């Protein structure tokens, strides 16, 4: 007898949305974002949502929205269909053993399973992840228009509207000296009124990083994110030792094993924790715990997800005892369309978590029907 709590359908929906402005990174310039949303539905009609959105597709990482969809449809969904959704732990083991890698796809499925479980128990998802110690998270904004004047105007507007007072500058595309001039101009313009940080997205060699970071440190930059490639942890460690300004690992962290190695090498002062990059919510929790036991700082990172992935991240980050460097959970604010039935609450420089059970947010089915890439996609049913 198949229980009502058995998983009946697993559906992956791709949604292409324009961004409010070009978002320039060292690896890609984004003009739109493709959300990869996953819906798991049980026989009793209860459904959970997850998200596996990536940045810049294969220019950034190994998974693309299309590969996420294919791998879930063909390989991961069959591991779940017909199984009792209440056995989350067992299902996560099955997913881990059934496929290597695929961190983003697995994270989306894990999120949807936890969403369903938390709804059944009538608790917010954060209760399954350790319990909340805070109900809101500070949120940084990324300045990445590629133009110094436009970035300063954008920062002034955010300060005025009390939406953000921490700004992360995406650099690494131009020559390091041009980037340094750009960052220092913004530091001077915002002097004392905001925190300015940079994300190099692995673009520099160690030597370029040494020269540039010295000047950025003198100019008042508060945090240097991933200056060198993830393949060079020893170089990251030398930079972390050499400079007073904290060095943060982001792309270097593909889950707990990387976190463990970086901590042993003293390779970073701060970890950027991301749920999809880590391979799921529990793996991201392990990354955060490795940071905590080694006395490292923590920052809640984003893959520029829409509302589902953003709130899934927030449900986890709200359980961290310390979140010294705040978060960058601004993904939905970069998109031109609101997909949720209730927009997320950004107020007084923070993202406020919903109080409902599960994720506490839902996509609007009518908007999704209009915006999904393939409006006639078949669903995978349990047999
Ligand atoms: Mg980063």
pLDDT tens column, 197-213? 999 999 999 999 999 99
- pLDDT for the residue 377: 54
- pLDDT for the residue 307: 98
* 249 C-alpha to ligand 1 centroid (Å): 8
User: Is residue 221 over pLDDT 60?
Assistant: yes
Catalytic, 170? Answer: yes
Q: Count Cβ atoms within 10 A of the Cβ of residue 52 and give its class: 0-12 exposed, 13-18 middle, 19 or more buried.
A: buried
* 145 C-alpha to ligand 1 centroid (Å): 16
CA dist., res. 126 & res. 306, Å (int): 19
Backbone angles phi, psi at 284, to 5 degrees: -65, -35
Q: Which of 253, 259, 223, 257 is nearest to 240 (CA)?
A: 223
% the chain with pLDDT above 90: 91
Residue 203 is classified by DSSP as: -
Summarize pLDDT for 224-247 with one digit per residue, the tens. 999 999 999 999 999 999 999 999
Q: How many Cβ atoms sit within 10 Å of the Cβ of residue 266?
A: 14
- pLDDT for the residue 376: 63
Summarize pLDDT for 144-176 with one digit per residue, the tens. 988 999 999 999 999 999 999 999 999 999 999
- pLDDT for the residue 190: 96
Average confidence (pLDDT) over 120-145: 97
Range in 58-62, 111-115, 255-259, 323-327 the model is least confident about:
58-62
Mean pLDDT of the chain: 95
Name residue 143's beta-bridge partners: 169
User: Is residue 76 over pLDDT 90?
Assistant: yes
CA dist., res. 171 & res. 178, Å (int): 10
- pLDDT for the residue 244: 98
- pLDDT for the residue 382: 64
What confidence category does residue 26 fall into, taking pLDDT thresholds of 50, 70 and 90? confident
* 143 C-alpha to ligand 1 centroid (Å): 13
* 274 C-alpha to ligand 1 centroid (Å): 10
CA dist., res. 33 & res. 336, Å (int): 10
Which of 69, 168, 170, 274 does the annotation list as catalytic?
170
Range in 25-39, 99-113, 338-352 the model is least confident about:
25-39
Residue partners of 146: CB distance under 8 A and separation at least 6: 22, 24, 29, 173
CA 346 to chain centre: 17
- pLDDT for the residue 195: 96
* 226 C-alpha to ligand 1 centroid (Å): 7
What confidence category does residue 381 fall into, taking pLDDT thresholds of 50, 70 and 90? low
Q: Count Cβ atoms within 10 A of the Cβ of residue 168 and give its class: 0-12 exposed, 13-18 middle, 19 or more buried.
A: buried
* 227 C-alpha to ligand 1 centroid (Å): 10
* 134 C-alpha to ligand 1 centroid (Å): 24
Average confidence (pLDDT) over 129-137: 98
Q: How many Cβ atoms sit within 10 Å of the Cβ of residue 231?
A: 9
Q: Count Cβ atoms within 10 A of the Cβ of residue 180 and give its class: 0-12 exposed, 13-18 middle, 19 or more buried.
A: buried
* 66 C-alpha to ligand 1 centroid (Å): 22
pTM of the model: 0.95
Q: Which of 19, 333, 25 is nearest to 170 (CA)?
A: 25
């Amino acid at each position: 007898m198949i229980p009502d709590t058995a998983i009946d359908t697993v559906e992956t929906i791709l949604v292409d949305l324009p961004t409010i402005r070009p978002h320039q990174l060292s690896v890609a310039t984004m003009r739109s974002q493709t959300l990869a949303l996953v819906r798991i539905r049980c026989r009793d009609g209860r459904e959970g949502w997850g998200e596996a959105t990536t940045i810049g597709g294969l220019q950034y990482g190994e998974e693309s929205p299309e590969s996420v969809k294919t791998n879930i449809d063909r390989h991961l969904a069959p591991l779940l269909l017909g199984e009792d959704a209440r056995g989350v732990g067992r299902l996560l083991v099955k997913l881990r053993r059934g496929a290597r890698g695929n961190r983003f796809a697995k994270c989306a499925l894990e999120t949807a399973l936890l969403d369903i479980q938390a709804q059944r128990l009538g608790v917010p998802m954060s209760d399954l992840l350790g319990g909340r110690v805070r109900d809101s998270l500070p949120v940084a904004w990324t300045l990445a228009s590629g133009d110094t004047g436009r970035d300063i105007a954008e920062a002034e507007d955010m300060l005025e509207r009390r939406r953000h007072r921490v700004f992360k500058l995406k650099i690494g595309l131009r020559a390091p000296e041009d980037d340094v001039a750009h960052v220092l101009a913004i530091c001077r313009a915002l002097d004392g009124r905001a925190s300015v940080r940079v994300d190099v997205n692995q673009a520099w060699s160690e030597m370029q990083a040494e020269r540039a970071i010295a000047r950025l440190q003198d100019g008042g930059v508060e945090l240097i994110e991933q200056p060198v490639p993830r393949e060079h942890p020893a170089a990251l460690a030398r930079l972390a030792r050499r400079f007073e300004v904290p060095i943060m690992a982001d792309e270097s962290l593909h889950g707990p094993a990387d976190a463990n190695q970086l901590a042993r090498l003293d390779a970073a002062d701060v970890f950027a924790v991301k749920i999809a990059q880590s391979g799921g919510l529990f793996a991201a929790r392990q990354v955060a715990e490795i940071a905590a036991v080694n006395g490292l700082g923590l920052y809640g990172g984003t893959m520029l997800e829409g509302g589902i992935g953003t709130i899934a991240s927030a449900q986890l980050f709200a359980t961290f005892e310390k979140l010294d460097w705040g978060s960058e959970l601004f993904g939905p604010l970069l998109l031109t369309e609101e997909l949720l039935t209730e927009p997320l609450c950004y107020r007084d420089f923070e993202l406020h978590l919903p109080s409902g059970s599960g994720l506490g947010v839902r996509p609007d089915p009518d908007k999704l029907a209009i915006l999904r890439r393939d409006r006639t996609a078949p669903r995978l049913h349990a047999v």
